Amino acid sequence: MAAMRSHRRTPSRKSAWRALSAAALAGTLALLTACGSDSPAASWNDGKNEGGGQQQQQQEDSGPKQGGTVTSPAADAKDVPASTPIAFTLENASNPTVELKSASGESVKGAMQEDGKSWLPEGALDYGTKYTATVNATGADGKPTSNSSSFTTMAKPSKVVRVSSFLGENQVVGVGMPIIVQFGRAVPKDYRDDVQARLSVQSTPEQEGIWHWISPTEVHYRPKTYWQSGTKISYKMQTGGLPMGDGYYGRADVSVEIKIGPSFIMTVDNKTKKMTVTKDGKVIKTIPVSLGKPSTPSSSGTMVVIEKQRKTVFDTMDDPNPANRYRTPIDFAQRLTWSGQFIHAAPWSEGKQGRVNVSHGCVNVSEAMGGWLFGQTRIGDVITVKNTEEKLENGNGWTDWNMSWDQYVKGSAIPYNG
């Protein structure tokens, strides 16, 4: 699987120091909730409160020093966060590799980071456990070198943040679907770069993308252009044991795999009162519509399907304006905004569709076309509405595509280097 450019970064020395300091002072952290449900891919890794001693193995000094030295965690450090990377320096050496083992000799899997100066375990370490990190390298004289340093992880924290993915394992979604990660507690601004650095996305085929903080409790990821049809995506929130501010830590790591379905794009033009539907770039249907009347206009902008309901009831009886109060059974409802704009079947307006706007902001289609669309679409399919009296407000729905790429990258906690 090709690696997607997700603009990860290795935590800085400041971040590593902050993580260790936070652990020493507070001794406690968190992981994820999304849209009221945990990701089915979540694996809660509770640590073991086992003690650990200290051990440090040094290379004998025979001439100029050469080899690698672990710089973080510090030798014999205690209360190290379970999310810790292994940082090291090289002196008169090259081709470094890192080994990490528990006191029982169990090896920990991980990977070298892009900076070539740090190594990250593939999952949160066990709590209250002693580990030994070894940096192997080739010395300037061509001989192998090996230097080790030990540390002990913190006890299992009592203050944790749950992290969750909106999407479930192996779900098939539309080409406009953002990856949505939610946090059970607000992430302080000063910690968002460290959290974002632990969020990774891989796709086949490879497509450029970036994370965008929607709020302190929610971050989204989208590619530069719509996902390609058939793309396979694997993403991971490596937040278990990660310091997340105010003495909180990520509860666990979460991994999810999804797939992108066919490119299904709906374009509605108020000037023509028609919806044009394309599938994988080919026009397959033109549908008459009725949009919002002047007092309740539809929003112009790019949205995606948020949820689908075969049958529901629209109830606005609590609206302060008596003229907008109604309770109506609805077929084939597809939500576009949090404020209540949908695509749905409206048999009562079929004589107006294609000619006059009579809705309360929704995209009205016939009963037959409502059923047809409902059978075609997926969560994350794209709809663009044009030439209405009102602009779509960002945040009113999954409006990731209502922003330009330049606007979107401004929401990243890590500077974009594309």
Active site residues: 344, 362
- Cα angle 375-376-379, degrees, rounded to a multiple of 5: 100
Cα–Cα distance measured from residue 318 to residue 326, given in angstroms and rounded to the nearest whole number: 9
With H, G, I as helix, E, B as strand and everything else as coil, classify residue 84: coil
What DSSP line would sit under 345-377, residue for residue? E-GGGTTTTTT---BSSSEEE-HHHHHHHHHH-
With H, G, I as helix, E, B as strand and everything else as coil, classify residue 112: strand
143 CA to centre of own chain: 43
- Beta carbons within 8 Å of 72's beta carbon, 6+ residues apart: 13, 16, 17, 20, 84, 85, 86, 87
Cα–Cα distance measured from residue 277 to residue 267, given in angstroms and rounded to the nearest whole number: 7
Cα–Cα distance measured from residue 10 to residue 319, given in angstroms and rounded to the nearest whole number: 50
Identify the residue whose tokens are 């302190």: 216
Cα–Cα distance measured from residue 125 to residue 249, given in angstroms and rounded to the nearest whole number: 13
What type of residue is 340?
G
Which run of H or of E encompasses 18? helix 13-26
CA distances from 121 to 108, 131, 375 (A): 7, 12, 43
Cα–Cα distance measured from residue 73 to residue 54, given in angstroms and rounded to the nearest whole number: 12
Q: Is the dihedral of CA 139, 142, 148, 153 positive or negative?
A: positive
Cα–Cα distance measured from residue 131 to residue 411, given in angstroms and rounded to the nearest whole number: 37
φ, ψ dihedrals at 102, nearest 5°: -80, 170
- Beta carbons within 8 Å of 400's beta carbon, 6+ residues apart: 176, 178, 212, 220, 222, 304, 408
Strand partners, 37: 34
